[in-house]
Amino acid sequence: MTEFVRLKRIAQVRYGLGQPPKLAIDGIPIIRATNVSQGRITTQNMIRARLSDLPLHRAPLLDEGEILVVRSGALTGDSARIPAKWSGSAPGYDLRVTPDNSIDSRYLAYCLLSRPVIDQMKLASSRAAQPHLNAEELGDTKIPVQRLEDQRRIADYLDAELTKLDDLANKKRRLVRLLNERIDSRILQHVGESEIVRSDGGSPTLPIRRVLMKVTRSAVAGSGVITAYRDGQVTERGARRSEGYTMSASTEPLGQHVHVGDVVVHGLDGFAGAIGTSEAYGNCSPVYHVCTPRNGGDSWFIGRLLRLLALQGYLGNFATSTRERAVDFRNWDLFGRIPIPVVANTEQREIGEWITQLRPLRTAIERSEALTAERRHALITAAVTGEVDIAAASGRNVTEGVTV
């Protein structure tokens, strides 16, 4: 039988760090909101601090089985259980939940990811101008609680079934990763054979302005916002998530139009990978360089080449100034003087075809991952609320219908 109990009756709810400590490259990991993703701990943008600089009297290091809940921002309410791998890390600036002996920590972590609990947290966090959840509000959240032995059985079932979903998603991501590695390896081979690497006898280079022509088109009313993301995708912002690009650029006037196939370079964030070839029509900010290939070059190849040169640190060597963490390339004359390898158009087109062939596969995988996420939420919700008979469901194939 399921009973709904307030979280504060079965767990202690506390805050993490009040203020960020002095950071260190080789210190204790600090798990923040950016490291919490739908029940998982990720290493994206993880920061560290020395143990001596952490206020352990106020925020002790995390133990396995504790749960972090994001307390503010777009990800408010998202949560993840601390596995053994991250035990001994420091809590970030969010809420930490320490279950008592009456509840299985894995089961509680799944409850916090279920639709009824997420809806309660969203309602509580929406009372402020910006999404925000405090310890009292989280503590008042009602959790579906079952007998301890049933909790463990449900957690075991979800552990096994969600692993199947995760394994399927990982196989698809690995396929795309291998195909991208093949493309990058082929391009970097040309870089390695050029004068950039081999000063004596390397293949020739040309300044970027001899390979690309900067264009300026008037903005078209009603068009979407084109954004260069740091993973190399350039597309209409409404087609993607809200992170992965520099917010400062989004507030600037949308002063130029972009066509499909244009090479787009972010003048400040390009060094971090915000370079690529546009997949959509729309308008973009003046902080971008919008370019078309000269002499029959392939825009998909050139966009990928420039991004790789940026990520390798090569383009940054030619910068004369920086703003915060950004290498400043808003000056086209400066950027256009940078030498890049000369690659035959036939080779450019072949590699460009590889790149374009990846696009529909990537789109299919993104749809599949969205379906997997929905299936994941539905499965968790049904299990913790008692809507599904765990014994009967154990033989069911949860990955059915979640294919590319």
Q: What is the pLDDT of residues 264-309, one digit of tens each?
A: 999 988 888 899 999 999 999 999 999 999 999 999 999 999 999 9
Burial of 298 by CB count in 10 Å (0-12 exposed, 13-18 middle, 19+ buried)?
buried
By mean pLDDT, which of 280-284, 330-334, 365-369 is the weakest? 365-369
Are 133 and 95 in contact by the 8 Å Cβ rule? The answer is yes
Compute the C-alpha angle 234/239/245, nearest 5°. Answer: 50
Average pLDDT of span 97-120: 96
Task: Indicate if the pLDDT at residue 33 is higher than 50.
Answer: yes
- Going 272 to 359 to 305 to 206, the CA torsion angle's sign is negative
Element (H, E) at 131: none
Strands 95-99 and 11-15: antiparallel
The CATH code of domain 3-145 reads 3.90.220.20
CA–CA separation, 194 vs 190, rounded Å? Answer: 6
Residues with Cβ within 8 Å of 365's Cβ and at least 6 positions away in sequence, in order, are: 172, 173, 176, 404
Digit-coded pLDDT (tens) for 39-84: 999 998 899 999 999 999 889 999 999 999 999 998 999 999 999 9
Percent of the chain clearing pLDDT 90 (strictly above): 71
pLDDT for res 250: 45
Residues with Cβ within 8 Å of 290's Cβ and at least 6 positions away in sequence, in order, are: 214, 215, 216, 217, 256, 258, 262, 263, 264, 284
Compute the C-alpha angle 160/44/14, nearest 5°. Answer: 75
Q: In CATH, what class is 205-341? A: alpha beta
Residues with Cβ within 8 Å of 185's Cβ and at least 6 positions away in sequence, in order, are: none
Task: Indicate if the pLDDT at residue 385 is higher than 70.
Answer: yes
Are 212 and 291 in contact by the 8 Å Cβ rule? The answer is yes
- Going 34 to 40 to 42 to 48, the CA torsion angle's sign is positive
Rounded mean pLDDT of the chain?
A: 89
